[in-house]
Amino acid sequence: MNERNTVSNEENTTDQIAGLVKWFDPVKGFGFVVADQGGPDILLHVNVLRNFGQSSVADGARITVDVQNTDRGVQAVEVISIEPPEGDGTANLSDIAELDADAVADAPLEPGRVKWFDKGKGFGFANIFAREEDVFLHVEVLRRSGLSDLQPGEALAMRVIDGKRGKMAAEVHAWEVALHKDT
């Protein structure tokens, strides 16, 4: 959609813009969005993303944001929605490649917390609340879920399956976002 929805209040004006995440670096605390209708890159600060309930977003994810023109350029002031990037077929997790997407979607969202995650290694582990076993987290599952990185202690909602090497997350959401998915 190339339409702009303008919202005005007493002090400032915002436009609702849809586009793609160009890149986002959670360590630097910011990234940029490219609007579908073109124009300058839109600054996406981690605090705006956290207000949406996420600490990261995958490169190439579709995003709808409210933006504002500032003396520093166009900046996102609120995230409205995020959709995971389209699959490019280059990454194939054998543990979930054969799974029926409906079966994964039917698995309950379970509350968990990140033990550790190393983006460079491409994996990490989480625990489901009140259970001792570790749940394997793969970076490709994060990417498919619209995330790019996780921090120790971060609250998650996961759809967990029995993989070839034990429990693994087949879908991951930031806890705040997941509260609105399965209520």
Residue 134 falls inside a structural domain: yes
Position 7 scores a pLDDT of 43
Q: Do 74 and 107 belong together in one domain?
A: no
Domain final residue pick, 51, 83, 115: 83
Question: Which stretches of 76-116 are DSSP H helices?
Answer: 94-97, 101-106
CATH code of 157's domain: 2.40.50.140
Domain final residue pick, 83, 103, 125: 83
Which of the residue ranges 2-11, 19-28, 138-147, 172-181 has the most confident prediction, judged by mean pLDDT? 19-28
Position 54 scores a pLDDT of 84
Q: Do 154 and 102 belong together in one domain?
A: yes
Residues 159-170: what's their mean pLDDT?
85
Residue range of the domain that includes 154: 94-178
Report helix, strand or coil for 16: strand
Those residues whose C-beta lies under 8 Å from the C-beta of residue 84, and which sit 6 or more positions away, are: 58, 61, 143, 144, 145, 146
pLDDT digits (tens, 9 = 90+) for 19-32: 999 999 888 899 99
Residues 135-156: what's their mean pLDDT?
87
Residues 158-167: what's their mean pLDDT?
84
| Total domains, the chain | 2
Position 74 scores a pLDDT of 94
pLDDT grade for 44, boundaries at 50, 70 and 90: very high
How much is the mean pLDDT over the chain?
Answer: 82
pLDDT digits (tens, 9 = 90+) for 48-106: 998 988 888 888 889 999 999 999 899 999 999 988 887 544 445 666 666 667 777 88
Q: For 132, phi and psi rounded to 5 degrees?
A: -90, -30
Residue 61 falls inside a structural domain: yes
- The torsion region of residue 142 among left (phi > 0), alpha (psi -120 to 50) and beta comes to alpha
Domain final residue pick, 16, 48, 83: 83
Give the C-alpha separation, 169 to 44, whole Å: 27
